[in-house]
Structure 1
Amino acid sequence: MARHQLVRAGTPVRIEPRALNLLHYLVEHRDRVVSKSELLDEVWGDRYVSEAAITTALRTARLAVGDTGSAQQLIRTVHRLGYQFTAPTTALDGAGPAVSEHRAGSERSSDVEPATADGPSGADRQTIRFCQADDGTRIAYASVGSGPPLLKAANWMTHLDLEWTVPLWSHWLRGLARNHRLIRYDERGCGLSDWVVPSCTFDDWVDDLDSVVEAAGLDRFPLLGISQGAAVAVAYAARRPERVSRLILVGGYARGRQIRATSEAELEKAALDLALARVGWRDQDPGFLRVFASQFLPEGTVEDWDAFAAFQRKATSPANGVRFLEEFAAIDVSGVAHQVKCPTLIVHSRDETRVPVSQALELTALIPDSRLVLLDSRNHLLTASEPSWDDFLSHVGTFLAQ
């Protein structure tokens, strides 16, 4: 029986089923250009969707096979006509797969196997759905694991599908879904959510979290926020105290760099960092992206930093990356943090530099029923290999069980 599975370099790739169906259809009809209307009819059937659905699914399919909209080495956009799969393809006899091979240098290839998009079993199995924000922005959210719900606020930088394939995030997903139904989403402007959006402000992020809660049918639940996602989680918990039962903040802060600067020197440094980030992200400068990644993983290797940078490039556009960084610098939930009513666990790496430990101390002072746990690490994002990772899971497990 056909497996309806995407395999790349011999490894199964997790991909949203609709994007896989689109990719399968393009491969099956690779001898011609397929129009948008045909894709809507054949892939979406009688379900009404806009052309933006094609754009999102096509972007997901390209990322899954190692292509991009600018490179178009496998999937070509034909202006005003549609799309065509252009890589050399071999159709195998019987129930075997149609194999498409593309090589960049000498080490990259993609295999497309028509058939079920169930993906692997266990913690990796996830369901991806979409909801719509009030302004029409489409937000992708996913559920994995079983047990009581645990909702994770979006943060820099996510991709619901690709996170499973990178060491940066995969252990987080498996660890958090071990005893819970983990629900997470891509913030507007990145991942599988819409990239072209009418607005991308902090208030939009809080509203989008609310939209996911409604779409997922959640009533009362613990909420996890990492990095700037912690500020989103704080704002939401203050807004919806009846919904949030417990709050977990990891590597978080109440005020962005421009807001918390208290001297002329700090203001100048914050402005300089933002200016460098604008240029580095706009030009996708490899040197800058490596330095930027090292701020999140100072104990990582050069390979770790390059993998982090590569993941970020796939997760959003350069323009959106700049928009996010500008908004992060202006975050300020210090005025509403005292309104959080639920028990709160604040976890922070003791020696990290991306978000200094002083920010964790401030959060602990602002939120009434909170306690602080400091971990022996320099990393902003804990890695699977460091002892503090097991400590983190232990603290979170104990807190959620109380």
Structure 2
Amino acid sequence: MEAGPDLHYARTSDGVTIAYQVLGRGPALVWLPSLGNLRAQWRVPVLRAAYEHLARSMTLVLYDGRGMGSSERRIDPNELGIDAHLRDLDAVVTAAGLETTTLLGYYHSAATAIAFAAEHPRQVTRMVLFGGAARLRDAMSPVQTQALLSLVDQDWDLFADTAAHAWLGWAAGESGRLVAEGFRSAAAPSVAKAWFAAGAAIDVTDRLPEVAAPTLVLHRQGERQIPVEVSRRLAEALPHGRLVELAGSSPTLFMANARGDLELVTRFLTGGDVVPPAVPAATPADGVTARELDVLRLLAAGESNAGIARSLGITVHTVERHTANLYRKIGARGRADATAYALRRGIA
């Protein structure tokens, strides 16, 4: 299970093979892909925990878009617009046998979720959108984003590292390395370049009035990534849209406040409730010290003892001492228990 559940394959109407995974039980949720590689993403502890949490309440469907990850890599780079993304999603929904579904549109795929919901009003029951826009160039226009995208053609490895660390805010260390590897292995640089270029031309603004599904628009980005006005305009343009601004500026879900984000998304998608997450306390109970909390955050992010030592500027022996004290205080038998504790407390 290191790379997640077994892969299944769907065939699009234009003959492209799409890899997808299914896990969990309950109402369906399709998490639409942005630039990424499912098998690599499963190796990132925070993402793996998010997938497994969502699958406790829902049937979670994940897939790699055309040209990405385990899906067909040899594709026509001119076929990466909205119609192609809709064919990918339709193929997965059909192959998975989903009569109704909720959607999670993440960054680039938010526009695809909007268009699909507009075309299938009886099939899509609710949506959560994060980090995107109906007109994708609105989400891609900030100066920092444009600087990042300029690296795609210049230095693919540098783009992957910069996207993971400087743009998305993953700390240096094992988890950050794995996220960067997810970007690096997602697609050939030429496909990624064409994918971003096609994305800048995607505009589904005219489809917004046709979306019948209640939609939760979440925002947690700094001005350098996506200004809140972009998310606010999107929520206001949707007939049943609602904006929730999440605390902090880390431009990703399920990392800065994993427990709060997961509970918010799960409650909305399964029952329509919108309860904005509380800001997690600076320290947990159980007598955990500030330094032990630093160790716990890095441990839950998948860092090795050596990586924690480097990040905190302490010795490996000191990390081992803090870890032993931490395990005793929170009743953890090992890293898995400590990570689960961190997620429950909104620390990870």
Q: TM-score, normalised by structure 1?
A: 0.61
- Distance in 1 (alpha carbons) for counterparts of 2:128 and 2:2: 31
8 Å contact from structure 1 (residues 255, 333) kept in 2: yes
Higher strand share: 1
Whether 1:327 and 2:198 are equivalent positions in the alignment is yes
8 Å contact from structure 2 (residues 216, 242) kept in 1: yes
2:30 aligned counterpart, secondary structure: strand
Select the residue among 22, 31, 43 that pairs with 1:143: 22
Select the residue among 173, 179, 194 that pairs with 2:51: 173
- Distance in 2 (alpha carbons) for counterparts of 1:274 and 1:314: 17
Q: Which stretch shows the higher mean deviation, 149-158 or 344-353? A: 344-353
The one-letter amino acid paired with 2:214 is P
8 Å contact from structure 1 (residues 139, 186) kept in 2: yes
- Distance in 2 (alpha carbons) for counterparts of 1:351 and 1:269: 11
Select the residue among 155, 158, 161 that pairs with 1:280: 155
Which is bigger in relative contact order (C-alpha 8 A, separation at least 6)? Answer: 2
| Structure 1 partner of 2:266 | 397
1:335 aligned counterpart, secondary structure: helix
| Structure 2 partner of 1:336 | 207
Q: List per-residue Cα deviations over 1:77-108 (Å, max 9, x = no partner).
A: xxxxxxxxxxxxxxxxxxxxxxxxxxxxxxxx
8 Å contact from structure 2 (residues 6, 21) kept in 1: yes
- Distance in 2 (alpha carbons) for counterparts of 1:335 and 1:242: 19
| Structure 2 partner of 1:162 | 40
1:302 aligned counterpart, secondary structure: coil
Pairs aligned (count): 268
Q: TM-score, normalised by structure 2?
A: 0.70
8 Å contact from structure 1 (residues 348, 357) kept in 2: yes
**Shift in Å, 1:274:** 4.0
Whether 1:210 and 2:90 are equivalent positions in the alignment is yes
Q: List per-residue Cα deviations over 1:235-258 (Å, max 9, x = no partner).
A: 100111111011111222222237
- Distance in 2 (alpha carbons) for counterparts of 1:174 and 1:259: 29
Whether 1:306 and 2:177 are equivalent positions in the alignment is yes
Q: Which stretch shows the higher mean deviation, 231-240 or 193-202? A: 193-202
Whether 1:379 and 2:254 are equivalent positions in the alignment is no
Whether 1:315 and 2:194 are equivalent positions in the alignment is no
8 Å contact from structure 2 (residues 29, 104) kept in 1: yes
* Amino-acid identity (%): 31
Select the residue among 119, 123, 134 that pairs with 1:254: 134
| Structure 1 partner of 2:296 | none
Cα distance, 1:227–1:269 mapped onto 2, change above 3 Å: closer
The correspondence of residues 52-201 of structure 1 with structure 2, limited to 5 A, is 126-159=5-38, 161-167=39-45, 169-198=47-76, 199-201=79-81
- Distance in 1 (alpha carbons) for counterparts of 2:138 and 2:266: 34
Cα distance, 1:354–1:175 mapped onto 2, change above 3 Å: farther
The one-letter amino acid paired with 1:333 is V
**Shift in Å, 1:367:** 0.4
8 Å contact from structure 2 (residues 21, 61) kept in 1: yes
Q: List per-residue Cα deviations over 1:145-177 (Å, max 9, x = no partner).
A: 112211112222132x33221235212211221
**Shift in Å, 1:332:** 1.4
The one-letter amino acid paired with 1:395 is L
**Higher alpha-carbon Rg:** 1
1:156 aligned counterpart, secondary structure: coil
The correspondence of residues 1-12 of structure 1 with structure 2, limited to 5 A, is none
8 Å contact from structure 1 (residues 256, 328) kept in 2: yes
Q: List per-residue Cα deviations over 1:197-224 (Å, max 9, x = no partner).
A: 1322221001110111111111111111
**Shift in Å, 1:144:** 0.6
8 Å contact from structure 1 (residues 352, 379) kept in 2: no
- Distance in 2 (alpha carbons) for counterparts of 1:271 and 1:294: 16
- Distance in 2 (alpha carbons) for counterparts of 1:272 and 1:151: 31
Q: List per-residue Cα deviations over 1:296-325 (Å, max 9, x = no partner).
A: 422x32224433222222222121221222
CA RMSD of aligned residues (A): 2.4
8 Å contact from structure 2 (residues 2, 42) kept in 1: no
The one-letter amino acid paired with 1:230 is A
**Shift in Å, 1:196:** 0.6
- Distance in 2 (alpha carbons) for counterparts of 1:244 and 1:210: 12
- Distance in 1 (alpha carbons) for counterparts of 2:253 and 2:132: 13
